[in-house]
Amino acid sequence: MADATTFLEASARPGRHGAGSGSAPAAIRIRERSLGALVQLTSWGQSDTIGEVAGPLTLDRPLTPGRVSRAAGDVRLYQLAPDRLWLNDDDHASVCAVTSQLDTNRFSELDLSSSRVVIEVSGSVVEDLMARLVAIDCTAEAFAPGAFALTALHEVSVLIKRTSADTVAIWVPITWAESLWSYVCVAAEPFGYEIVAEEDT
Q: How far is the CB of 72 from another protein (least distance, A)?
A: 25
Q: Phi/psi at 38 (nearest 5 deg)?
A: -130, 120
Length of the chain: 201
Among 52, 91, 178, 198, which residue sits at the site for another protein (rule: CB under 8 A)? 178
156 makes contact with another protein (CB under 8 A): yes
115 makes contact with another protein (CB under 8 A): yes
Binding mask 50-89 for another protein (x = CB under 8 A): ---------------------------------xx-----
96 makes contact with another protein (CB under 8 A): no
27 makes contact with another protein (CB under 8 A): no
- Whole-number Cα distances in Å, 185 to 30, 94, 190: 8, 34, 10
Alpha carbons 57 and 51: distance in angstroms, whole number: 10
Among 13, 22, 23, 47, which residue sits at the site for another protein (rule: CB under 8 A)? 47
Q: How far is the CB of 121 from another protein (least distance, A)?
A: 15
Q: In what order do the strands lie in the sheet with 84-89?
A: 69-71, 75-81, 84-89, 37-42, 108-111
**What number of helices (H) and strands (E) belong to the chain?**
4, 12
149 makes contact with another protein (CB under 8 A): no
Judged by beta carbon, residue 70 or residue 84, the one nearer another protein is 84
| Residues engaged in binding another protein (CB under 8 A) | 1, 3-5, 7, 10, 18-19, 40, 42-47, 83-84, 108, 110-116, 128, 131-132, 134-137, 139, 141-142, 154-156, 173-176, 178-180, 182-183, 186-187, 189-190, 192
